[in-house]
């Protein structure tokens, strides 16, 4: 199996793309730490992981809080002794909001979760990965990192900045055998997408499982030549097709 004996942390793992990633890892024999702010969701996903015969932990955490992130990684190392994979998937968004109408609190919250969260999580796992001389870090960005749109400045700014963070971190840690990449999904069939895209029509929403397959490739040995890269997974919503 592709991930036999690997230990993965997936933030935002309770539903949508995160849940699909967790289950794809479990199918490939990884042990998975499922993290999010909502305990019932991650506990259910952890039980699904265990049905594959793999170990799992459900750890409630807000990735924008330094103490929550450090506790998540400490508990992972206590339970498994190592961490091989980190998927920074937790994210948040706002309904359509022009800059003139944004509050500072709204702006800060989106950047705290979507950008500061991946920084905190990556920083927390790096000591273990550096000791191991191996590791895979995947940041879930967005088609919004590539294209601007009115009313979407906090989200798209945070996701664009996340790509630069990916590239910078990849350059820093390649010497330790750690690969860092990003995935930019297009509109995907998730609760967040449906909440913020009311009235917008797309040719077809990508399934979360399709994004999970891209992530699975990036954390497997098959991607050993790939680091410091962002893969666009736009599906039928690729602007080329419009």
| Bridge partner list, 179 | 136
What are the tokens at 40?
A: 């019932």
The two three-digit tokens of residue 183, written as one number:
């995935």
CA 182 to chain centre: 9
Phi, psi dihedrals of residue 103, rounded to the nearest 5°: -90, 155
Catalytic residues: 155
- What is the phi/psi pair of residue 210, to 5°? -70, -40
Place of tokens 């750890």: 59
3-state class percentages of the chain: helix first, strand second, coil last, to nearest 5 = 50, 15, 30
Kindly provide the b/e burial profile for residues 7-23, where b requires at least 16 CB atoms within 10 angstroms of the residue's own CB.
bbbbbbbbbbbbbbbbb
């Amino acid at each position: 199996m592709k991930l036999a004996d690997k230990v993965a942390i997936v933030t935002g793992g309770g539903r949508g793309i995160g849940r699909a990633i967790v289950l794809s890892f479990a199918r490939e024999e990884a042990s998975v730490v499922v993290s999010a702010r909502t305990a019932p969701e991650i506990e259910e996903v952890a039980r699904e992981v265990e049905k594959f015969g793999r170990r799992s932990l459900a750890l409630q955490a807000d990735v924008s809080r330094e103490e929550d992130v450090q506790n998540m990684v400490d508990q992972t190392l206590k339970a498994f002794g190592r961490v091989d994979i980190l998927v920074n998937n937790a994210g948040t968004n706002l309904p359509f909001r022009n800059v003139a109408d944004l509050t500072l609190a709204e702006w800060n919250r989106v950047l705290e979760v979507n950008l500061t969260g991946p920084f905190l999580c990556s920083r927390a796992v790096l000591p273990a990965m550096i000791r191991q001389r191996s590791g895979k870090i995947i940041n879930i960005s967005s088609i919004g990192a590539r294209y601007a749109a009115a009313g979407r400045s906090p989200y798209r700014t945070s996701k664009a900045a996340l790509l630069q963070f990916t590239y910078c971190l990849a350059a820093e840690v390649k010497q330790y055998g750690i690969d860092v990449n990003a995935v930019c999904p297009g509109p995907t069939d998730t609760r967040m997408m449906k909440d913020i895209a009311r009235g917008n029509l797309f040719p077809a929403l990508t399934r979360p499982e399709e994004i999970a397959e891209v992530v699975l490739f990036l954390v497997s040995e098959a991607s050993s030549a790939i680091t410091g890269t962002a893969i666009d997974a736009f599906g039928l919503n690729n602007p080329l097709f419009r």
